[in-house]
Amino acid sequence: MSTLFLLDTNVISELAKKQPDLGVETQVLARQANCALAAPTVEELCFGVARLPKSARRDLLERWLEGVLQQFTLLPIDYRAALWLGRERARLASVGNPAPRADGEIAAVAVINGLTLITRNQKDFANFEGLQVDSWFTA
C-alpha cells in the first residue's frame, strides 16, 4: 500500500488521550499503513512532551512517542518542500495572510508528496494552494 495521508500533530496527539475521538482512532487504525508523519509534527510532539514536568505521565508519553515513531513513515522537509513553502508564504503574505511556519512546513510536506492532510484544524490550512485537507474527527 502507498502513503495517502499525512497526519497533523493534533491527530497523533489525540491518540494519546485516555478516550480519543472515535473517528480518529477508527480511521488511523484502519488506514495506518497509508499514513505518514512530517518532521515538524515529530518536533511539535517532542516539544509538547519535553516541556512537561518530570513525572510518570511524562515518562509514559515519552515511551508512547517512541512507539508512535516506529509505526509511521516519517517524511522530511526536503528542498522541494522548502521551495514550495517559500513561494507559498510569499504569496500568502502578499495578500495579507501570513502563514505560520510549522503549519506551512506540514502543508509543504503534504503537497510535495501528493498527500491529503488529516487535521482537526482545517481552517488553519485553508489558504494553502494545492493542499487537500480532511478531518477524521467526529466531534
- Could you give all domains of the chain from N- to C-terminal order, each with its CATH number? 5-134 (3.40.50.1010)
Per-residue pLDDT tens digits of the chain, which is 139 residues long: 588 999 999 999 999 999 999 999 999 999 999 999 999 999 999 999 999 999 999 999 999 999 999 999 999 999 999 999 999 999 999 999 988 889 999 999 999 999 999 999 999 999 999 999 999 999 6
Asked if 118 and 6 count as a contact pair (C-beta separation under 8 A), the reply is yes
Asked if 69 and 42 count as a contact pair (C-beta separation under 8 A), the reply is yes
pTM of the model: 0.94
Phi-psi label, residue 130: left if phi above 0, alpha if psi -120 to 50, beta otherwise = left
Amino acid identity for residue 53 in this structure? P
| Grid cell of 43 as nine digits | 518536533
